[in-house]
Amino acid sequence: MVRALRAAGRPVQVLKPVISGYDPATFAESDTAVLLAALDREPKSEVIDAISPWRFAAPLSPDMAARREGRGIDFDELCRYCRETIDGFDGVTLIEGVGGVMVPLTEERTVIDWIVALDMPALLVVGSYLGTLSHTLTAHTTLSALGIPVAAIVISESAENPVPLEDTQATLARFLPGVAVSAVARGDTDSDDLLRLLFPA
């Protein structure tokens, strides 16, 4: 999406404010590195700090990973950081979450609390693994119950699929009428269809 937006001449910035399982020794494999590569930006320390200020080593939920390091996430500071970054940019801002919508961020707050606080539509990215139908429908129901608009659902093909990708897409579309459901094959870098879905002319 970032590459397609840039190719279309649309200014875009991406944030991955919270990341766990972060190891500087294997930085190139991290989500932050993937985002920086899409932005064509060098992974300098100040750039990494700007995109992913809350980084934790353990591959656990952020609250657990932070606790192992004797740290924590200030929820108000996290929201303030996001709002200020959004307000200071004239273009599209994409914010990548961490885990699922109900993953704990702090002792009391989850990712969905973060989405509610930012008052932004959600782009629900899911896999095509066994169990994704239940996970996706549950996540959508939870988001809807809190009044969070879902801009679209994107199925990012998993390494293993119990059924063809199109079947998963069709089933989700059947249960979520009115919601745009897009499928991206594994390794596919063409996001034009997805961009038209999210940003219609």
The residues carrying an active-site annotation are 16
Contact 181, 152 (CB under 8 A): yes
Between CA 157 and CA 173 the distance in angstroms is 16
Q: Which residue has the tokens 């190719």?
A: 7
Our measurement of the distance from residue 88's CA atom to the centroid of its chain's CA atoms, rounded to an integer in Å, reads 20
Neighbours of 12 (CB within 10 A): 18
3-state class of 19 per DSSP?
strand
In sequence order, what E strands does the chain have? 12-15, 18-19, 54-55, 92-95, 122-126, 150-156, 181-184
